[in-house]
Chains A and B, each alone.
Chain A
Amino acid sequence: MTSTTTALLAAGVTVGVPVALFGYLWTVEKLLTPFTERTRRRLRPWAWLAPALILIGVFLFYPMLNTLLLSFRSADSGRWAGLANFRYLLDDAEAHSALRNSLMWVVLLTAGCLLFGLAIALLADRVRYEVGVKSIVVMPTAVSFVAGAVIWKFMFDYQPAGYAQTGTLNAAWTTVSRQPPVAWLVDTSTNNSALITVGIWMTTGFATVIISAALKMVPAELVEAARIDGANSRQLLRHVLLPQLRPTLTVVATLLAISAFKAFDVVYVMTNGNYHTDVIANLLYQQLFINQDFGRASAVAVLLTAVISPILAINVRTLRREGRE
């Protein structure tokens, strides 16, 4: 394919797919016309879901089934392995440590990003330089992981006591506290938190922008009415904004928790799981690409899905509540 045809194709797809999609919906509507309203209501959703479901089926559902099957097979998928791969997860100390660290990621990253995201979205909404604030918080999202690792190396850098500190944190720490410098990424009491901090720095922008978008969609009348009733900022937040934002906060929290479970790159490029910083996704990478054990890798993936199920349960409840409304 030459570059010109590629460019034309890209432009064609960019314009053509939305147009074709609408054409498809319109055609579906025409085809449904002869049917009763009841039948139409039954068929229409599936027609609308079809493109998305096909993509999901090919790229995720089928590979996931594949994974599920492989988790019961041997390293090279050649033999049936029963539950051996899962037993390894139960017995292996590294797997336990990875699971513990992943849970820490889920709790701290989710809480941190939600808290900062909500605070920044609410506060920025009240000032004129909102765009500036949001741009700053979003900027780290645009940084690649490798560059992110370089940036945070400048933050976490360590020089022996008595030498000039080249890392931002240690320069500040040794100056303020007069204590010896901390090896943030090596010291097991700080390293997981240090890595999660990088995660929060990179991800809060996402939470902020999504929460902010939901905030903008809160009907202005609601806010006005509360103001007229004499609500102060705190009451407004508690009784109007938070209830309105709750579905979005649930969605954002779910996405954050899932991404925290899948956190990989920051750990990989900064410590590669050494000094007890390993997480589930590292385990997966190790089993899949280094040990070439497809059975265990698949078992890790299945474990990942299993651990996430409480979060799914919360979503089911939210969905039910919305359904009742």
Chain B
Amino acid sequence: MIRIGWKPTAVVLGSALLVTACSSSAPKTAPVPTASGGLVAAAQAAASTAAGGKRPGGTLDLMGELTGAQLTAYLATLKPFEDATGITVKYETTADLFAVLQTRISGGKPPDVVSDPSAGQLQTLAQQGKLTPIDSWLNMGQVRSQFPAGLLNLGTSGSHLYGLFYNTSVQNLVWYDPKTYTGPNPPTSWAQLQTWATQQAAAGHTPWCVGLESGSASGWPGAAWIEQFMLRQAGTAAYDSWWQGKLAWSSPQVKAAFQAFGQVATNPRMVVGAPTSVLTTSFSTSPNGLYSKPAKCSLTVQADWLGNTLAQTVPGVTPVNDIDFFAFPAVSSTGDGGVIETSGEMLATFRDTPQTEAFMRYLATPQFAAMVASSGQWLAANKTVPATSYSTVLEQQAARTYDSAPDVRYTAQGSMPLAMETAFFSAVLDYVKTPAHLDAILAGLDRTAATAYTK
């Protein structure tokens, strides 16, 4: 706090404290795999075509929030573009993307391109007319055949496309330690899994680890659970109208999703010390409970990056032997069992220049997607990349899950307007703390929705 006098509040959120909630694997200790020469050459050729065979040169100011090894990997995927077009990509990192981006826009100095985990924020900016449409730059037929429809819809406002997903990460995988997990694998339904979990609980073994603490973004992991129940219980149509603000928070579907999550997160037989420990435990350390002695849990829910991350932080843990996952099981016949939920970063541009045009066209190419796949950090949003091009077994499994999904939905929290997203996170915490207040909490979210969507 307290920078007396005139020190503007340093809005540092270090990342564990970030309003992101999303994506990506491999912490910085992991070496960044280098793409093979063939991939690079192909990407250069694609970049050159994207620039119309010219070398426009100049610079491109790209704002985002990646850091460390991820940033290095990200820049490596853009290197062929820089080499082929002569355009220098200047990456501006900020941990507080919303504040910095808003200020830069209202100060009249937006970056050329933004790489944003909140597609909702970009939707708002597109509606405000701040973004440049990119569909006239692209071969939309090719784009439609290669990117999941759910992700393209999110980058669309009116009849124009504004944003393209760079990377993706499969959310809400159920992780377990194969040495100790004795339940159905994979479970055919959520009911089957919960029956096993209840038996475990009765025998005195708490089955789940859930941690919602994430600094200023606390609550997002719970929001991800609830989104998953929306997909699996209410279905994609309800899911879409929900994040679009057309389905009320107080509707039976949303309420049921909160309650399904609550059956795990507010029950001390399901999670050690619930509900308080669920609120105080960090999302990044709660999976360690799989390996504590005695183990605090057998199961935890997290995105595809968790496996490799645990392997690098918990002594003696190796992928597949000690950590593995299955997809979130089907919940009810009214829901969509196979549709998966992803997170990632959407790129959109504020300017119509030869540099930004070439850049956005490069992002749409399969050759660029192959570079992303080879980075060892993310799945490529473009579905043309074969699963075998990923470097770790867990990533290959995640890629197969992604490629075989009938459709893909971006995480609802990242699709909503920012104001709705933050209210959602707070509501999750309030609900876990006092489940009895659920109706009031949902009514409060409806009030937020009344203003959040009008801008």
Contacts and interface: CB of A to CB of B under 8 A. Distances in A.
Contacts of A157: 280
Contact of B218 (A158, A198, A272): A272
Contacts of B433: 186, 275
A231 interface: no
Contacts of B128: 76
Contacts of B219: 274
B17 A202 contact: no
B280 A265 contact: no
Contacts of A190: none
B137 interface: no
B4 A255 contact: yes
A198 B1 contact: yes
Give the bracket for the number of chain A residues in contact with chain B: 35 or more
A158 B280 contact: yes
B10 interface: yes
B124 A270 contact: no
A288 B280 CA distance: 28
B11 A265 contact: yes
B273 A159 contact: yes
Interface in B6-25: 9-14, 17
Given A76-B455, A286-B422, A266 B1 contact: yes
Given A289-B99, A292-B455, A274 B2 contact: no
Interface string A291-315: 1101000000000000000000000
A158 B279 CA distance: 10
Contacts of A285: 11, 99
Interface string A135-174: 0000000001110011000000111110100000000000
A256 B273 contact: no
Contacts of B3: 259
Nearest to A272: B216
B102 interface: yes
A38 B358 CA distance: 69
A237 interface: no
A150 B276 CA distance: 20
A72 interface: no
A79 B386 CA distance: 53
Contacts of B429: 274-275
Interface residues of B, number: 40
A290 B426 CA distance: 14
A114 B427 CA distance: 37
Interface string A239-252: 00000000000000
A263 B1 contact: yes
Nearest to A185: B280
A67 interface: no
Contacts of B277: 158-160
B262 interface: no
Given A264-B9, A290-B419, A292-B124, A183 B280 contact: yes
Contact of B215 (A160, A206, A269, A291): A269
Contacts of A275: 429, 433
Nearest to B296: A163
B443 to A, nearest CB: 13
B37 interface: no
Secondary structure type dominating chain A contacts: helix
B216 A160 contact: no
A311 to B, nearest CB: 14
Interface in B267-326: 272-273, 276-277, 279-280
B1 A199 contact: yes
B9 A265 contact: yes
A260 B106 CA distance: 28
B452 interface: yes
Contacts of A158: 276-277, 280
Contact of B13 (A262, A269, A281): A269
A150 B284 CA distance: 14
A75 B17 CA distance: 28
B4 A256 contact: yes
A195 B124 CA distance: 34
Interface string A175-189: 000000001011000
B119 interface: no
Interface in B91-107: 98-99, 102-103, 106
A271 to B, nearest CB: 8
A90 B197 CA distance: 48
A145 B280 contact: no
B335 to A, nearest CB: 30
B248 to A, nearest CB: 20
A290 B1 contact: no
Contacts of B124: 292
Contact of A265 (B10, B426, B452): B10
Contacts of B204: none
Nearest to A59: B6
Contact of B4 (A259, A290, A292): A259
A289 B102 contact: yes
Contacts of B330: none
Nearest to A286: B422
Interface string A198-212: 110011001000000
Interface string B429-455: 110010000000000000000011001
B280 to A, nearest CB: 4
A118 interface: no
Given A159-B273, A269-B12, A186 B280 contact: yes
Contacts of B1: 145, 198-199, 202-203, 259-260, 263-267
B114 interface: no
B418 interface: yes
Given A149-B14, A203-B1, 14 more contacts: A109-B2, A145-B12, A146-B17, A158-B276, A160-B276, A202-B2, A260-B2, A268-B13, A270-B215, A272-B215, A272-B216, A274-B430, A275-B429, A285-B11
Lowest 4 A-B CB distances belong to which pairs?
A160-B273, A146-B14, A272-B216, A263-B1
26 contacts: A75-B455, A146-B17, A149-B17, A157-B280, A158-B276, A159-B277, A160-B272, A160-B276, A160-B277, A161-B273, A183-B276, A199-B1, A206-B2, A259-B3, A259-B4, A260-B1, A266-B1, A268-B216, A269-B12, A272-B215, A272-B217, A289-B103, A291-B418, A291-B452, A292-B419, A292-B455
